[in-house]
Amino acid sequence: MVRKRAIPARTISFRGLNMPVITFANTKGGAGKTTAVLLLATELARKGYRVTILDADPQHWISRWHEISGHVPNISVIDFVTTASLPLHISENKHNTDYFIVDLPGARNPLLATAVGLSDHVLIPIQGCAMDARGGAQVLELLQYLDEKAGIKIGHSVVLTRVNSMVTTRALQLVKSLLSERHVPVLDTAIIERSAFRDIFDCGGTLHTLDPARVSNLDKARENATCFAEEIMSKLPARLTASPRMATAA
């Protein structure tokens, strides 16, 4: 059953006008939002795009990562993002950013409707084979509500996360087709469970500054992150005015 919700005000929408705003949302904690945000941001930055991460996760993992990393070319992080400040941050930074990425809390929160209403695309990380998709379903329900009640259509996709590397392509294909049958768009690239994706939070930097001698399967982790970012870029190219800048040390 769909409960009555506040519809985000259209007047503050930036969708389609400026640089793509991508929000990661799942009201279930631990789905892999923050990890996916960092992978996408660092890959886009490596390709030379300026990325602003809006950190609304109360655990501030991205802000802590940024603190220990020092300067990461092409990446800015804004911490303590609230429902009131989110539109302002986007408005103030739209001329110096090619992609905005919003990391939301893992709980129902008024920020969800605001961020979704400002987004060009909502990515819903769902843990690959756990099939506990309730948190993701709440986000999908909100998107459906905005479409039906207010005619606001926001692009969205599920991204399967923390998928065990031993899971066969066939099993993964089955999960994807189950979701597709319910008309839920699913990214082709699933984010695999890799220790490298945890290590970047501990060590700072990016997958490309980690030491391959110390991190297992780093090459596979890098390849996975690149495929993930490229699939999103193909759906959401940076605006034509954006031209990639050389990233020197990402």
Ligand X SMILES: Nc1ncnc2c1ncn2[C@@H]1O[C@H](COP(=O)(O)OP(=O)(O)OP(=O)(O)O)[C@@H](O)[C@H]1O
Binding site for ligand X (CB under 6 A): 29-35, 57, 59, 61, 106, 161-162, 191, 193-194, 197-198
Nearer to Mg ion, 83 or 109 (CB): 109
Binding segment (CB under 5 A) for Mg ion, from list 13-21, 25-33, 38-46, 190-198:
25-33
Nearer to ligand X, 33 or 66 (CB): 33
Nearer to ligand X, 126 or 238 (CB): 126
Q: Determine contact, residues 178/149, Cβ cutoff 8 Å.
A: no
Whole-angstrom Cα distance, residue 9 to residue 170? 43
Binding flag, residue 57, Mg ion (CB under 5 A): yes
Q: Which of 13, 34, 114, 161 contacts Mg ion by CB under 5 A?
A: 34
Binding segment (CB under 5 A) for Mg ion, from list 20-28, 54-62, 63-71, 183-191:
54-62
Task: From 198, 194, 201, select the one nearest 216 (Cα to Cα).
Answer: 194
Q: Determine contact, residues 44/99, Cβ cutoff 8 Å.
A: yes
Nearer to ligand X, 18 or 161 (CB): 161
Backbone phi and psi for residue 60, each to the nearest 5 degrees, phi listed first? 55, 35
Distances (CA, A) of 218 to 4, 37, 38, 49: 46, 18, 16, 23
Binding flag, residue 27, Mg ion (CB under 5 A): no
- Helix, strand, or coil (residue 4): coil
Interacting partner of 185 out of ligand X, Mg ion, none (Cβ under 5 to 8 A depending on kind): none
* Residue 209 C-beta: closest distance to Mg ion, Å: 22
Angle at the Cα of 39 (from 38 to 40), degrees rounded to 5? 90
Can you give the three-state secondary structure of 96-107, one letter per residue? CCCEEEEECCCC
Binding flag, residue 199, Mg ion (CB under 5 A): no
Nearer to ligand X, 61 or 145 (CB): 61
